Amino acid sequence: MSKIRFLPVMIFAAALMLTVRVGNIWNDVGGLLSGGVSVTPAAAQTPAGQPPAGQNAPPAPATPGAGAPPVDPLAKPLPAPVRDKQAIAARMLSDDPTLLTQSEIDLLQKLAARREALDKRAQEIQMRAGLLKAAEKRIDKKVTDFKILKSTIEGLIKKYDEQQTTKLQSLVKIYENMKPKDAARIFEKLDMDTLLLVAERMKERKLAPVMAKMNPDKAREVTVQLARLRNLPVPGRPPGG
């Protein structure tokens, strides 16, 4: 009798536990449905097959801005090399070095090396120009010094010639005032150059008596030399002979 009473109690307890368990599962499923999936009114009204606005929508066609130049629909597209050069130039002008390719980096390095070489060459040319300018100044100073020296030497030579001329004129006067016999004896002992210097400057009326007293051979030689100095023709010889 006690066994019969215990069995219904066990069945009732098991049914009660099953009911509680099913209720908990239902609550969990309801929470997932209410919290995990939410449908907005706009999404609910979107027809099937069309994505919601702002999600995976194709971009709108770009319209030219107010400051952009108008696009000519008939304009021909640029050739590929031109577009490539423009793209390379745009990347080079950008501040982001990661946009450059290795070949562009190599090109920039070569250009930098070339620029450095040109700068070095310009510095060398500038330095040489400075050295040439300094050398020109030194040469100009040397030329000026030589001109001054030349003028000084010419002045000294002129002064010396004047002094010699004065002395020679004094010597000529001495021979002119001597007796012809005494002057002739001295003339015969003088060398020809000195004799010609004196005889050429003597007056003819003073020189003639002296040469008349000289040795005939010496007198003839003096006459020939004086004729050459004065460019006078000698009797029996062609002019200038």
Q: Decide if 222 contacts 214 (C-beta within 8 A).
A: yes
CA distances from 166 to 163, 173, 232 (A): 5, 11, 26
pLDDT score recorded for residue 74: 55
Letter for the amino acid at 91?
R
Question: What token pair was written down for 139?
Answer: 């040469």
Predicted confidence (pLDDT) at residue 221 exceeds the cutoff of 50: yes
The first and second tokens of residue 107, run together, are 């090109």
Q: Which helix (H) or strand (E) holds 214?
A: none
Provide CB contacts within 8 A for 201, sequence distance 6+: 168, 169, 172
Quick one: tokens of 34? 């209410």
Condensed to tens digits (0 to 9), the pLDDT of residues 63-108 reads: 444 444 455 555 556 666 656 666 666 655 555 666 778 888 888 8
d(CA 165, CA 177): 18
Q: Is the Cβ–Cβ distance between 184 and 213 less than 8 Å?
A: yes
Q: What is the rounded average pLDDT for all residues in the chain?
A: 75
Rounded mean pLDDT, 201-230: 89
Q: Is the pLDDT of residue 14 over 60?
A: yes
- Of residues 89 and 51, the one with the higher pLDDT is 89
> Which residues, other chains included, contact 218 with Cβ-Cβ below 8 Å and sequence gap of 6+?
187, 188
Q: What is the mean pLDDT of residues 106-128?
A: 92
Per-residue CA distances from 223 to 172, 174, 196, 207 (Å): 17, 21, 9, 11
pTM: 0.39
